[in-house]
Amino acid sequence: MGKRKWAVITGASSGIGEEFANQLYDMGYSLILTAQTPERLKAVKAGLLKKKRRRPDRDIRVELIAVDIGEAAGMKRLADTIESIIRPSDFTGETNLPAILINSAGFGAVGDFSDIGIEKQEAMVDVNVKGLMYLTYRVLPLMEKAGGGRILNVASSAGLFPGGPHMSVYYATKSFVVSFTNGLRQELREKHSPVRVSALCPGPVNTAFNARANVRNALPGISPQHCVKAAINGMKKDRAVIIPGLSIKAAASGAKLLPTGLLLPMVSNQQKKKI
């Protein structure tokens, strides 16, 4: 038996995370899927096992871990469980490689900063920033010990803007993800690490994200399938920042050219349409 390649996906119960599970499964990766809702995770696994029945010869495992990565205890339990499944002691054998980490878990909230409950905004920081950072900290050494791997931090096109009025905390968390990824990427390059890290910065994607963010009128989005396909292609090409869609690439390029004093009122007007 050859080495089993593992992909760890957070936020795997829906949206982009679920689509990563589908596409990486089709590519032959065994999966460790995590999210808060065990029922949704079980439904995702059931869909994957239907595919396995069509290809019973494939040696692919799917493991589920239901935790809240916004909580310190949940983050630690997740990382400990990942290590127990992948088993670093087997890296020199025939069974395990921690090949991919997809940090996809995250959520947003639209509205004036003072109108959104502080508990929700603290939770946003915990999931979007602290959970992503902690899991990367725990999985990165495993990948280096195994001789390589890829980390994809799911940010947003919001992370490419200087701010986001009426989604101020969300934009700030995604700016952190982009900045953290770029900084870590350079560190890994300087020490000749076999691990590669990238940030995914999509615009609107047609997922359940808008419902949780309390968005009424979002811009037209791309499909999760298109987003994930572009992300996987970008990882293969080792792109630092992956932006699916020509219109979002153009908007991100324009954001770099416009003065902040002109850009922020434009972003504000767009966000107000969602309230």
How far apart (Å, rounded) are the C-alpha atoms in residues 85 and 97? 11
Sign of the C-alpha dihedral, residues 210, 213, 219, 225? negative
Burial class (CB in 10 A: 0-12, 13-18, 19+), 266: middle
How far apart (Å, rounded) are the C-alpha atoms in residues 197 and 182? 8
Q: Is there a catalytic annotation at residue 25? A: no
Residue 24, both tokens: 């990486």
- Whether 7 and 63 have beta carbons less than 8 Å apart is answered as no
Measured CA to CA in angstroms, residue 9 lies from 150, 195, 212, 219 at distances of 12, 17, 20, 26
Measured CA to CA in angstroms, residue 195 lies from 126, 138, 198 at distances of 25, 13, 10
How far apart (Å, rounded) are the C-alpha atoms in residues 156 and 120? 19
- Whether 150 and 198 have beta carbons less than 8 Å apart is answered as yes
- Whether 15 and 108 have beta carbons less than 8 Å apart is answered as no
- Catalytic residue, chosen from 25, 134, 170, 171, is 170
Active site residues: 170
